[in-house]
Amino acid sequence: MHIAHNPEAPVCDTIDFDQFLSVDIRVGQIIQAHPFPEARKPAFKLVIDFGPVIGIKRSSAQITENYRLEDLLNRQVAAVVNFPPRQIGKFMSEVLTLGFPDASGHIVLFKPDVDVPLGSRLS
């Protein structure tokens, strides 16, 4: 899924609150991070623990410019957990890990300021 990273992009169409609630954004903790050399664009393979209700999910994340694999372990991240899985090469990405582009357009992961229970839902 490609999302515009342009801070000058126009605001999206207005949605109602029920539409917003249908996007399930949860906090998880990265428990494994691996290189993804076969990806078309530089990326890492992440394994993220979302706690007992959602469990462990995998995600491909184009974050190689701002992060080293060893710095990702045990980091809390936010992700959309109710999109359908997406095949990326031979890898099945099950959640969309969230981030924002920095001034150079490289993704910076979104995370809570303090640790929260795994699986906590954005509210």
CB-count burial class (<10 Å; 0-12, 13-18, 19+) for 43: buried
Assigned domain for 75 exists: yes
* CA–CA distance, 43 with 27 (Å, rounded to integer): 20
Assigned domain for 59 exists: yes
| pLDDT tens-place string over residues 9-62 | 788 899 999 998 899 999 999 999 999 999 999 999 999 999 999 999 999 999
Assigned domain for 122 exists: no
Domain that holds residue 72: 17-109
* CA–CA distance, 81 with 119 (Å, rounded to integer): 10
Assigned domain for 79 exists: yes
Contacts of residue 84, Cβ cutoff 8 Å, sequence gap at least 6: none
| CATH number of the structural domain spanning residue 94 | 2.40.50.140
Residue pair 48/95 in contact (Cβ under 8 Å)? The answer is: yes
22's tokens: 């249908």
Q: Which amino acid is at 56?
A: I
Bridge partners for 34 per DSSP: 45
105: left (phi over 0), alpha (psi -120 to 50) or beta: left
| pLDDT tens-place string over residues 78-122 | 999 999 999 998 999 999 999 999 999 999 999 999 999 999 999
Its pTM surpasses 0.85:
yes
- pLDDT above 60 (res 3): no
What domain count does the chain have?
A: 1
Name the pLDDT band for 8 (thresholds 50, 70, 90).
Answer: confident
Q: Which amino acid is at 15?
A: I
